[in-house]
Amino acid sequence: MSINFQSNKSTTKDNHLYTKFTYENSIVEKDAQGKFNVTPTAVDYEFKLDLKIPKVGLLLVGLGGNNGTTLMASILANKHQISFENKEGVVKPNYYGSVTQSSTIKIGVDKEGNDVYAPFNSIVPFVNPNDLVVDGWDISGLTLDKAMKRAKVLDVTLQKQLEQHLKDHKPMESIYYPDFIALNQGDRADNIFNKSANGEIKTDNKWSDVERIRKDIRDFKSKNNLDKVIVLWTANTERYAEVLPKVNDTADNLIEAIKSNHEEIAPSTVFAVASILEKIPYINGSPQNTFTPGVIELAEKYDSFIGGDDFKSGQTKIKSVLAQFLVDAGIKPISIASYNHLGNNDGYNLSSPRQFRSKEISKASVVDDMIESNSILYNKESGDKVDHCIVIKYVPAVGDSKVAMDEYYSELMLGGHNKISIHNVCEDSLLATPLIIDLVIVTEFLQRVQYKKDNESDYKDFYAVLTLLSYWLKAPLSRPGFKPINGLNKQRQALENLLRLLVGLPINNELRFEERLV
């Protein structure tokens, strides 16, 4: 779709889009009497967007898992226009579930005042997922055709058509530190480079592991003649790493801890550090605390983007909408009970208590900012909070079809109560894969955006922690000192408004004066 944005705020020069934007907000101060003093503010910025679309490579940690093989299959099916037939008829390839590929944005109203929408990826240039060059690491050495079959996600008639494209593709050797994932994953670990000739797992040279991964990244980039590379973790959930003084609390301590092979240096941390040192983005799609303070400081030091944590696909995405709805409506949720059972390898790994704890933490934080937004419903001084219970069970029979059951119990006026129960069955990897696509495409796009204040001469990149990725993540990583935003609508609005301001459109509002004023 071709769109001509006629705005006097934006100009195109030397394949770059330059846009002036005034950022308006309000600073609020509370005095000793509890009175709010609100002062409107305005700061003038100029944004610069590189319009050239680069050749991008994606390296997945966990390439041979359910998400990795489903991602490869989705790109190949769309790239080669592979249709298949199931019991409901012919299915044509698509990217349903992807915001960048299958959603729209309001760009204005027509002469009659009706809303007009355009595809999300038509506003500014984005990488086409069909053009992504994909590879990665996995502790399992199965070729991707066999790994796809093991995952049991896709229809068999589609798998058969994809076999020819996947049968010669084997993941690169990965690292395996047994203490960080469930012991039941040991049988899959036959494709690792940190082991001796006699098969002993070696965790006494973690800096060498960092250097090996850095070399893999450089070789991948060179071999495929890529402009950019992005690394994304979609492997097993690790246990939480302890945040310790002189270990992972600062960038320098982190590097020294890796070189001294400290036991609290996780595989995901090794991948993150290797990516940061190569100055390429690293995204954490699992709930473990990969981004300790030392990793964040290292990303700041090397001006390398990071984003996380944990894909927000089904139950949590609904929770971030429903909890916001209840609180915004003045209804007080007093308990949220969430039960899940799933039968894929993710569920198998999460059956271990320490790995489940990582997932429990990422799921629990999703309602925090909504509670804090309403001091009428929740009194901080009295410790008012939501009783939030989360249960995950491994049930092999359900496979990749995750079953989620939630009960929202809320207080109404004058002692009344409201109970909302939701039963949600979702095909886990077919929800997560479009999130991976969006995270990669938006991350690359954000690398092409720079800004400066009106009185500055040099353009800057966004801050290292890409909070604009929060829409796709359960426990969004925030800049130190700032609280994360979990409300799904707020997260989506931020993305839309960034695209709008870059092409010179006003940020979105629903005042609809065309309809409401005489």
Which residues are the active-site residues? 310, 359, 402, 474
Packing angle of the helix pair 66-79, 144-151 (nearest 10 deg): 110
Pair 418, 331: CB distance under 8 Å: yes
Pair 174, 138: CB distance under 8 Å: yes
Q: In 161-277, at which residue ranges do the beta strands (DSSP E only) sit?
A: 172-173, 228-233
**Distance between CA atoms of 515 and 419, rounded to whole angstroms?**
36
Q: Counting Cβ atoms within 10 Å, is residue 27 exposed (0-12), middle (13-18) or buried (19+)?
A: exposed
User: In residues, how long is the chain?
Assistant: 518
- Single-letter amino acid, residue 302: Y
H-helix or E-strand spanning residue 105: strand 104-109
Could you check whether the bond before residue 209 is cis, i.e. omega within 30 degrees of 0? no
Packing angle of the helix pair 206-223, 251-259 (nearest 10 deg): 100
H-helix or E-strand spanning residue 358: helix 353-364
**Distance between CA atoms of 471 and 484, rounded to whole angstroms?**
11
Which tokens is 111 given?
A: 């002469």
H-helix or E-strand spanning residue 513: helix 513-516
Which tokens is 207 given?
A: 């800096």
Q: Counting Cβ atoms within 10 Å, is residue 119 exposed (0-12), middle (13-18) or buried (19+)?
A: middle
Pair 490, 370: CB distance under 8 Å: no
Residue 111 CB coordination number (10 Å): 6
CA distance between the termini of the chain? 35
Pair 323, 338: CB distance under 8 Å: no
Q: To 10 degrees, the CA torsion angle through 376, 380, 383, 386?
A: 50
Contacts of 189 (CB under 8 A, 6+ apart): 139, 140, 176, 178
Q: Which of 95, 62, 355, 429 is nearest to 232 (CA)?
A: 62
